[in-house]
Structure 1
């Protein structure tokens, strides 16, 4: 039977499992997959810090015994009741007050080390917290450690407005209590603690919602990471999250800029968590192939690729360009099929290209319907007017892309204005030329005679109609 033990420094009126104004506990499919890949049936495990109840019960179902250390007294009581049929103990309080001599085969601290103490602890340096935790690791044991990135994609995507409004848990702490800033300093700190260079995962989109963890962001892994980050940043952003992650991966910086990391010490685990979320094989995302053609104004490639893609849809294909892999002349799905018709697939691509602020090879326009009709015409498809209810303007998602689009439109307007001025000057020059003057004098009387003849004919026709009545 699981018991709850108060060890000192516990927070009586606080919950990390059900926070009112604080971060939730660490959770997500990647966190659960990592625990699953690490724990063995004969292991004794310690889960240190706030972790989702689902992850804790999963570990309790796998290992021989699971102990917990949490700082929240209500959480400790809830978890002790949840694990009533499991073997283990719940220690409630701060890590620096824990004086027992228990050791473990596996220690899970995927939330990091910062939330292992409460406000009663004046200071507990991160390195000291790591030392205290690893002292409970048995020889040959395994450690799963999480850490947030102080300068990750989140700093580049959204303005840090929340930092000016402290949450309930943001009491004053010594700067040394936080994890070292940056991947390299973290690895150095782990080495200084006597831990061998760990296997490192980049965690997306955050430590508290780890949808995917990747040892590498090469190939389609970068797309998986980009989708995870974009899914958590649907509101106003500084830059397009999806595009930012892909560009960082192309530059080899996606791991360093990841929102968080997992460090795995002493365990053999897959390169991707959860497994099978990254497609295997060669090829390129069809959307990226089309985007590349748009950037380089390669309309010939667009007129080749769009009809080929539409032909594939006609054979039963069911994927928009953002979840179809192009491998030479073949296509395969990247994810679940989409129940859309051909025009709707093209409209989805048009909308995504406008939301990303991508350069268009045609005059600037923010109407996805017009762009869809243009793309459909390349495959010989005429889009009826009633297909779209009304005209719609799609603005780039990121502020940076919006400014770029405004600059591009301003440049196009400047060029159009310059051409209009040039044309007006050319016309004015022609009117002042001798040839124009001679022609005007010759043709002027002829035009006057022609107007008189037309008026006479009209009068005759009017008189005839009056007689006939």
Structure 2
């Protein structure tokens, strides 16, 4: 029977599972997929720190025994009732009071929320490295560690203005800076090595572990030349540890698109820059992994490259939206006139996807995700709206409304879009402040050029009117106009009679 044990440093009037003014527990489909891929039926597991109830239940249902370490007394009681009948115990308190004599060692230690919330305000100073070492002391030789860590300088710092940072939350009590995880991916990898997690190589492999030279995302047991025995992996987590929708070992290609979608979905309000474009641009510069909102570290085993598996499509090609945007930025209208008719023909043959949901390999199109039941014009209008929201450069001046841009694109495929009355409310504005400023600057430049041309045209017309040929022609033609108008009036009167 599962029971709750107070070990010291527990928080009696606090909940990490249902916080009032704090972030919730670690959760998400990527976390569940990592647990499912890493645990076996014979494992003895320690879940350290706040994990969502569904994660705790999933672990308890697939292992031999599951112990929990939480700092909240109400959470401990709730989880003890949840796990009633499951082999294991719930330890309530701070990790610095979690001595080795209080329990056995474990095959797997899971801390997907990180280590910062393993202590309460009663623990004045307990460095992150000491917490990691305390957990390592409870891990059996050859055991596995599943660790989460938040990036202190991730995409959220570039995208979302942290206006509420000056307002302390309930959990923001004074803590030493050493209690936090090292800032950055490389310092975290170094801290894991320093803690001794790079010594549990598989049996029969040389004891000279190194970190792989490719992207810094996998540990390798053996020499640099013998990099076949992978025994650990790092994942970039999007959009956060408490909402882990996807975790990937490499943020490139279609994995970058999936990550960008996850980040954009959780940034609906005002943003400094368009979240979707920021992630894709960082991926193009090979910086997306280092700027990920959080990371998972799997030590002692090799996990799948993508969590959950199947969310990133396989095969060659690029997102059709990215291909078209590249043509727009390069003023390559010939490529637009080649690709858009082909895309429209694919839609006519039964395809059902907007450019942001279609993969293009140079000649063929295939769906990426769920089908979208829209007509051809609506698919093109969706692309036009996303283009304007991202503040992308266009080869046409002042195409500020989606209807005009949709009409231009549809005309390339021989489709006429009916005119509609212009409404200022229908103008699509860029999402990010940076893209808005860039668009304002572009429109101001276009307005300045148009004003200069108008002044030049006005001066030219004025010069023509002052010329002798114009005055002679005007004098000759003016009497003729008067006579013609009088004759027309007389003829109308005659017809009436």
How does the TM-score come out when normalised to structure 2? 0.90
Q: 1:446 to 1:64 in 2, by over 3 A?
A: closer
Q: State the alpha-carbon separation in 1 of the partners of residues 253 and 484 from structure 2.
A: 77
Select the residue among 486, 489, 497 that pairs with 1:455. Answer: 486
CA displacement 1:76-95 (0-9 Å, x = unmatched) = 01111111121100001111
Q: CA deviation at 1:191?
A: 1.3
User: Residue 284 of structure 1 corresponds to which residue in structure 2?
Assistant: 318
Q: State the alpha-carbon separation in 2 of the partners of residues 378 and 355 from structure 1.
A: 22
Q: 1:438 to 1:385 in 2, by over 3 A?
A: closer
Q: State the alpha-carbon separation in 2 of the partners of residues 438 and 42 from structure 1.
A: 102
Q: State the alpha-carbon separation in 1 of the partners of residues 480 and 368 from structure 2.
A: 73
Task: Note the 1:323-338 alignment, pairs <5 A.
Answer: 323-338=357-372
> SS of the counterpart of 2:36?
helix
Q: CA deviation at 1:371?
A: 1.4
Contact 1:369 1:391 in 2 (8 A): no
Q: CA deviation at 1:459?
A: 3.9
Q: State the alpha-carbon separation in 2 of the partners of residues 442 and 280 from structure 1.
A: 73
> SS of the counterpart of 2:409?
helix
Q: State the alpha-carbon separation in 2 of the partners of residues 362 and 109 from structure 1.
A: 52
Contact 1:367 1:391 in 2 (8 A): no
Structure 1 unmatched runs, 5+: none
Select the residue among 400, 410, 413 that pairs with 1:366. Answer: 400
> SS of the counterpart of 2:141?
strand
Q: CA deviation at 1:157?
A: 0.2
Find out whether 1:121 has 2:119 as its counterpart. no
Q: How many residues align?
A: 463
Contact 1:65 1:87 in 2 (8 A): yes
Moved more, 374-383 or 180-189: 374-383
Q: State the alpha-carbon separation in 2 of the partners of residues 294 and 355 from structure 1.
A: 14
Q: CA deviation at 1:396?
A: 0.4
RMSD, aligned α-carbons = 1.6
Moved more, 447-456 or 245-254: 447-456
User: Residue 475 of structure 2 corresponds to which residue in structure 1?
Assistant: 444
Q: CA deviation at 1:132?
A: 0.5
Q: State the alpha-carbon separation in 2 of the partners of residues 439 and 420 from structure 1.
A: 21
Q: State the alpha-carbon separation in 2 of the partners of residues 246 and 404 from structure 1.
A: 19
Q: State the alpha-carbon separation in 2 of the partners of residues 409 and 428 from structure 1.
A: 28
> SS of the counterpart of 1:132?
helix
Q: State the alpha-carbon separation in 2 of the partners of residues 316 and 199 from structure 1.
A: 41
Q: 1:457 to 1:368 in 2, by over 3 A?
A: closer
Q: 1:382 to 1:103 in 2, by over 3 A?
A: same
Q: State the alpha-carbon separation in 2 of the partners of residues 339 and 456 from structure 1.
A: 63
Q: CA deviation at 1:426?
A: 1.9
> SS of the counterpart of 1:401?
helix
Q: 1:425 to 1:3 in 2, by over 3 A?
A: same
Contact 1:212 1:274 in 2 (8 A): yes
Contact 2:465 2:471 in 1 (8 A): no
How does the TM-score come out when normalised to structure 1? 0.96
Structure 2 unmatched runs, 5+: 199-218, 220-231
Q: State the alpha-carbon separation in 2 of the partners of residues 144 and 431 from structure 1.
A: 83
Q: Runs of 4+ in structure 1 displaced over 4 angstroms?
A: 385-391
Select the residue among 145, 162, 174 that pairs with 2:147. Answer: 145
